[in-house]
Structure 1
Amino acid sequence: MDDEEARTRLLDAAEELFYRHGIQAVGMDRIRTGSGVPLKRLYRIFPAKESLVTAYLERRDRRWTADLREAVTGAPEPVLAVFDWLAAWFSEPDFRGCAFLNAHGELGAAAPPVVHTHKAALHALLAELAPAPGLADQLLILAEGATTVAALNPGPEPAHRAREIAEVLLRAHRPS
């Protein structure tokens, strides 16, 4: 196995374990076991747990953001497509809430900067889609609130409710 394959296996194991059990609950030995990568190589690729956590979140951010962007591109009502995409995500069997909010909740100020850049990127996407200035702030609160509610009670319902509110906001901001 070359270093690229080892890195991928480590990130796959980290993502599954950190997302399911929490960052602080999972040690590097458990990542080693889950990935099948020897501990010496693990530490050569990721010298500290913090570097692995950052790489896991950066990779998740790229994939999550690309998936969401793809879902809204070309949608007849892109803002509402965000909430439709969230409903599908919340319905996935392994849904455990937002990995970035979970990381911030566990690590607080020690959370990697990608936590904040992820949220800023979501806000920027909503600002691109919103038909009026300032609407992105409200849409972000709806999306984040729905995600938090769904983390406690998985399923599409929080996204459906948030979508209904987004429809009201969109109607209020459309020219008459």
Structure 2
Amino acid sequence: MGIDSDSGISAPTGGRGARKRILTAAQDLFYWRGIANTGVDQVAEHAHASKRTLYNHYPTKDALVQAYLRSIDTPDGVPRERAVNDLDSPPRARLLGIFDARPDLGFRGCPFHNAAVELAGARPDVHHIVVDHKRAFIELLVSACAEVGARNPRELGHQLAVLFEGATALTTSLGETSPFIYAQSAAAALIDAATGPSLS
């Protein structure tokens, strides 16, 4: 894999496996440069494939965008969401782990949120993938909230999802991870309030 000297993005080299190279190129370019700002010409060039080869595998840009999102719609696909899937950790640690402030997790935000904002509902099939991913992530949070002993795990799960989305968006805007530090402390307070003695 080579390096694009202009962007620093890894560039797949030529040879067999054009479909995989094209998808890898789309993952890099769509995430770091944006879906709307990246044309199929750029993806093909980055993948060292012809446009004809690209269209043989992905007949439209929309099909390529869908393949890109589905390829990262996995437990390990979005780095900041991975903690909630770490079943070897206690549920509280998993819930707080999604607010990890390490800068190496990137500043470009959530690829699903980015797609929703960029495409603004113009591509219904892509929108459905985004919605399904977000709902599934919330359900994982709700499940972990039940494990941690929340009185109302669904409410807490949605509250943590709102905190997470806000911290992700602000981190992207500011280019620094301090929003995750504040969000994590707020999340800890919410978890304590939801699992501690009831005030009623």
> Normalising by the residue count of structure 2, what TM-score does the alignment of the two structures yield?
0.78
- Residues 119-172 of structure 1 deviation map (CA, whole Å, 9 limit, x = unaligned): 111101110111333111100000000000011123331111111001111111
Residue 35 of structure 2 aligns to a residue whose secondary structure is coil
Matches for 1:80-159 after TM superposition, within 5 Å: 80-84=96-100, 87-88=101-102, 91-92=103-104, 94-111=106-123, 112=126, 113-130=128-145, 131=150, 132-133=152-153, 134-159=155-180
Is 1:64 matched with 2:80? no
CA distance in 2, matches of 1:98, 1:56: 13
Calculate percent identity across the aligned residue pairs.
34
Q: Paired residue for 2:192, among 168, 171, 176?
A: 171
The verdict on how the C-alpha distance between 1:154 and 1:71 changes in structure 2, with shifts beyond 3 A counting, is farther
**What amino acid does structure 2 have at the position aligned with 1:125?**
L
Runs of 4+ residues deviating >6 angstroms: none
CA distance in 2, matches of 1:59, 1:15: 8
Shift of 1:60: 1.6
Structure 1 or 2: more helix by fraction:
1
* Number of aligned residues: 170
Report the counterpart of residue 31 of structure 1 in structure 2: 43
The structure having more radius of gyration, on CA atoms, is 2
Unaligned runs of 5+ in 2: 1-14
CA distance in 1, matches of 2:110, 2:162: 14
Cα pair 1:71 1:82 within 8 Å, conserved: no
Cα pair 2:142 2:157 within 8 Å, conserved: yes
Residue 72 of structure 2 aligns to a residue whose secondary structure is helix
- Residues 40-90 of structure 1 deviation map (CA, whole Å, 9 limit, x = unaligned): 111010000000000001112223258615763222322112222xx23xx
TM-align CA RMSD? 2.0
Unaligned runs of 5+ in 1: none
Query: Which range moved further: 31-40 or 110-119?
Result: 110-119
Cα pair 1:32 1:42 within 8 Å, conserved: yes
Shift of 1:6: 1.2
Cα pair 1:72 1:79 within 8 Å, conserved: no
> Normalising by the residue count of structure 1, what TM-score does the alignment of the two structures yield?
0.87
